Amino acid sequence: MLSTRELGRATRDGRVLLKDPGEKRTVLLSNTEQLEQLRRRARLQLDGTTQTDHYVFSDFTDRLTGRRLHAVAPLFGREDFQRDTFWQQRTELLMHMNALGMQLGGSQVVKMAMASCVQVNGWDKGVSGYYDTLLGIAQNDFTEMADRYAAGERYDPAQNVLGSPQYSHTKLFAWIYYVESLEIASVAQEKGEGIRVVELGSAFGSPIFTKRDLLPDQDVTFYGVDIRDDLLSASRRFVASRQMQGVHFAHADVTKKGWHARMMHIVSGHPADVVVSSHLLEHLPGDPKQIIGNWLRLTKKALVVSVPHTIEEVNMSDHEHNLGVEGLSGLADYFESEYHGRIQVKRDQIDAGILILIKV
Domains, the chain, in order of start with CATH, read: 10-121 (no CATH), 137-359 (3.40.50.150)
What pTM did the predictor assign? 0.90
pLDDT at 1: 32
Residue closest to 29 by CA, chosen among 117, 146, 125: 117
pLDDT at 10: 67
The values of phi and psi at residue 198, to 5°, are -105, 130
pLDDT at 352: 95
pLDDT at 7: 42
pLDDT at 190: 94
Residue closest to 201 by CA, chosen among 259, 289, 139, 278: 278
How would you write the pLDDT of the chain (360 residues) with one tens digit per residue? 333 344 456 677 788 888 776 668 889 999 989 999 999 999 999 999 999 999 999 999 999 989 999 999 999 999 899 889 998 999 899 889 888 888 777 788 888 999 999 999 998 999 999 999 999 999 999 999 999 999 999 999 999 987 777 889 999 999 999 999 999 999 999 999 899 999 999 999 999 999 999 999 999 999 999 999 999 999 999 999 999 999 999 999 999 988 888 888 888 888 899 999 999 999 999 999 999 999 999 999 999 999 998 876 445 667 788 888 999 999 999 999 999 989 999 999 999 999 999 999
User: Distance between CA 153 and CA 136 in Å, rounded?
Assistant: 24
Rounded to a whole number of angstroms, the CA Rg of the chain reads 22
pLDDT at 242: 93
The values of phi and psi at residue 50, to 5°, are -125, 135
